[in-house]
Structure 1
């Protein structure tokens, strides 16, 4: 198979695995995860779960393993009445492409989403004050002009993504994947279990492309070194804006150090939660997505997943 036809086939089978939009939903807070420095074209894929059983089991014929990373420097998310400007976000996942056209997503052990910390505008005062609930009013009086007013928010994955649509990655206005998340609100008065969304009732995000990304491709050796005859390929998708305004947001729960739901009620009243689908939105600006995989996974059968893992590990600095 010549280089041009190989590129055409690779683009058709992998560019659609556009994970770009996924990163946009990590953007409200801070999470930490161990990362690994990698050489060359492997550089962005620091957390790809190449050692996961589903990835290792991919034979290259019935199942093809790939790595996806998506980052963005900025964006915004609106939940009810509250809008937060977001910082840098990063999503990393493994994708197993099935011969029947379906795909499954494999998250790293520490979760797919990480992001810079973001501060909720107005802090605790803006989130629940003023209030006609005496216990909440007492807290409001204590935190006026205080460092205790600050609230940070962290988006957490609460289960594996689902409903992955391969073709949506190269289209606009079509959901790419469903991502269940919850948002952890952090402030001394809120306690350690204050969340918007839960594991059993998460916020489910279904991002789509607003515009098509710019497309590029590079070829490299297993250790990440650029080489036109390399057995690895990297799809580069840049400059897209992603958005979702279809998701519903449940009310806050678990907030407030034993105040029997009083702070939950105050937060929900002030922020307009729960909030129905269509009243919330998330946007990721200038997303940068990279997808790596074997050029000819069938030639690596039945060990495509194992070879992908070996190549990734050979690039570790």
Structure 2
């Protein structure tokens, strides 16, 4: 394969940002006290281009995707997504084959899980839908990608298999919805690929595209695994989240900001 760097500015698939919406949805599974989707850590922000692997000469475009708002529906549950709960960051290579084929290869930011950085999201009501004594039922959910995203910069579509880790003393350290072998396969698309005006990013090189909408109505959600001793609490997690949930019973709608720049405009990090 031959690789050629392209210098044009192309907005990365903001759809990637919708991933955090899904994670927030599971995490906030509408407790009796209400759902806020509040992350347990500071919200992610745009932090310049230090996350772009510009040391790779074949990376043509740098991009950062930030989730700003959204809604996830899993089965009968409809939940909000908080601003800044997830960030996607990295670069993109454009690959031309000798047979005339063309592909786009996402290059994750160094030090991240395949370019996806997710805050733990607190679950109001905890594992069982009510707050237990000493906080024993409190739980957080973190998004974990199991493969590198597949991104189409021209249609803004993105595919990403993910799993959700639920953290709680009662659930143990291996409680997941989705696994590496049976992940949640998100196929995220934007209904509006045109008409989005770019803005300057303050004193930083590049531009930002605001309020990019994306959605997916096709993904299925597996049941919980590894929750509690020998999976003894899988049923409780499934009851709280409405899983497993077949394709057609789930939905994601999100709004994200996309920051991008030609990699040639970004200084190589020392």
Query: What TM-score, normalized to structure 2?
Result: 0.75
Say whether 1:155 aligns with 2:143: yes
* Secondary structure, counterpart of 2:141 in structure 1: strand
Aligned twin of 1:313: 269
Q: Which has the higher strand share?
A: 2
Moved more, 76-85 or 236-245: 76-85
**Residue among 109, 112, 124 paired with 1:110:** 112
| Cα shift at 1:218 | 5.2
Aligned twin of 1:214: 196
| Structure 1 residues 288-303: aligned runs within 5 Å | 288-294=257-263
* Secondary structure, counterpart of 2:165 in structure 1: strand
Say whether 1:95 aligns with 2:82: no
| Cα shift at 1:283 | 2.3
Say whether 1:71 aligns with 2:66: yes
Q: 1:93 to 1:242 in 2, by over 3 A?
A: same
| Structure 1 residues 160-309: aligned runs within 5 Å | 160-162=148-150, 164-169=151-156, 176-212=157-193, 214-216=196-198, 234-256=206-228, 258=229, 260-285=230-255, 287-294=256-263
8 Å CA contact 1:156–1:183 kept in 2: the answer is yes
Higher radius of gyration, 1 or 2: 1
Aligned twin of 1:300: none
Extract unaligned runs of 5+ from structure 1. 1-8, 59-63, 130-142, 170-175, 227-232, 295-306
8 Å CA contact 1:85–1:118 kept in 2: the answer is no
| Cα shift at 1:96 | 0.5
In the TM superposition, what whole-angstrom CA distance separates every residue of 1:165-222 from its partner, at most 9, and x where no partner exists?
23212xxxxxx01111110111111001100011121111111113346222659xxx
Q: 1:245 to 1:103 in 2, by over 3 A?
A: same
Equivalences, count: 239
Q: Distance in 2 between matches of 1:57 and 1:104?
A: 14
In the TM superposition, what whole-angstrom CA distance separates every residue of 1:110-135 from its partner, at most 9, and x where no partner exists?
22222344223432112xx9xxxxxx
Query: What TM-score, normalized to structure 1?
Result: 0.65
Say whether 1:25 aligns with 2:28: no
Extract unaligned runs of 5+ from structure 2. 1-5, 25-38
In the TM superposition, what whole-angstrom CA distance separates every residue of 1:4-62 from its partner, at most 9, and x where no partner exists?
xxxxx96xx542x5321101212436699xx9x9xxxx9533322334xxxx151xxxx
Q: Distance in 2 between matches of 1:239 and 1:104?
A: 24
